[in-house]
Each structure stands twice: as structure tokens, then as C-alpha cells.
Amino acid sequence: MMDMLQFALGAAVVAAIWLARRRITDFPAQKPSDYADDYTVFDMRKHLDGAMVCEGVIFGPAGRVTSSFVADFNVTWDGDTACIEEHFVYDDNTTQDRTWTITLGETGHFTATAPDVKGTAKGRNVGATVQSKYTIRLPDDVGGHLLNTVDWMYLTGDGTIINRSQFRKFGVKVAELVATIRRKDAA
């Protein structure tokens, strides 16, 4: 009985340390205010506009690359509303199209919708970063799962955007995306 109690206590301590580490030092621990003093300012209307190219990789739950892609983005603005038309071509020659509608709000906040996003994405643009959180529905041919997504875009000095997204199910990371986004004429 004592061994069982010690095991349970040890497992609880390990779980608490893991959760604390994740909340304090891991990717999900970032918050937009961490970047408020950045010298570079990510102006979504300026840096996400026109014809763009996105190249990236997707990592599976084991941390290995499971897919790569190239995507063409066409971004148009009408006042505070952007329409981002995305066309992805994956390494297995499958394609995917998505259209985001982004509406800017006050103090860097924004909302966004897309057909495969459940409800409305909520985001914040601070300093050289854009963060959004949403629930995405995977295509039916890969299970149709709902994944909680944290998406960050970081503006670099030359105008390239580095995109990093993590996808979680029941709090466990099941995939990660890392990509670059840049103007097509600069590609």
C-alpha cells in the first residue's frame, strides 16, 4: 500500500513539474505583451498585403516532419477587413484552399473566420508579432478532428514573416507548423 501511495505521489509531482514548465517556459507560455517593446512593428495592413508565398513543414507528434507545402496567398484589404485567399500544394501533390476573413479591432485585437475554423479566431497584434488562437477542424480524410491552435507570426527585419503554430488535442501537442511568408515579388 505504501509503495502505491509513493508511486502516486511521485507521478503527481512529475505531472505538476511538467505543467509548470509548460506554462512558464514552453511555446504556449508566450503572450503578446512579451513583444510590446519590439523595435520592429508588424503592421498587418502593410506586411500582409498582396501576392505572397508561404513555404513550410508540418511536424507530427513525434517531432518528425510529416509533410511540407508551398502556398500562394492573395491578401486584399477593404478598410479594417482583410480577405486572405490561400492555395496550398503539399509534398504528396494534394491541394487545399482556405479563405480567411480578418477584421481589425482596437488596440491590436482582431477576429478572424475561415470555413474550417470552429467559431471565431481571436488574435492580437503587438510589436513585431501577431498571435491568434482558434479551433481548426481537420479534413474528413484525416479524421475530422478538432484541434486547439495557437498561431504566432514574427516579422523579421527584411519583411519576411516566420509562422509557427502548434495544434493540440486534449492539451497534448499533436502537430506543429513552421513556415515563412514573404511577398511574391521578393521570393
User: Any idea what the CATH number is for the domain that residue 72 is in?
Assistant: 2.40.128.120
> Same structural domain for residues 68 and 125?
yes
CA distance 48 to 46: 6
> Same structural domain for residues 71 and 23?
no
Phi, psi of 155, rounded to the nearest 5 degrees: -85, 130
> Domain of 74?
32-186
pLDDT of 60 above 80: yes
The structure's pTM equals 0.81
Q: What is the pLDDT of residue 86?
A: 98
pLDDT of 14 above 80: no
pLDDT of 56 above 80: yes
Q: What are the grid coordinates assigned to 168, written together?
A: 493540440
> Same structural domain for residues 23 and 88?
no
> Same structural domain for residues 49 and 19?
no
> Same structural domain for residues 13 and 76?
no
> Same structural domain for residues 64 and 94?
yes
Domain count, the chain: 2
Following CA atoms 107, 113, 117, 120 in sequence, which dihedral angle do they give, to the nearest 10 degrees?
50
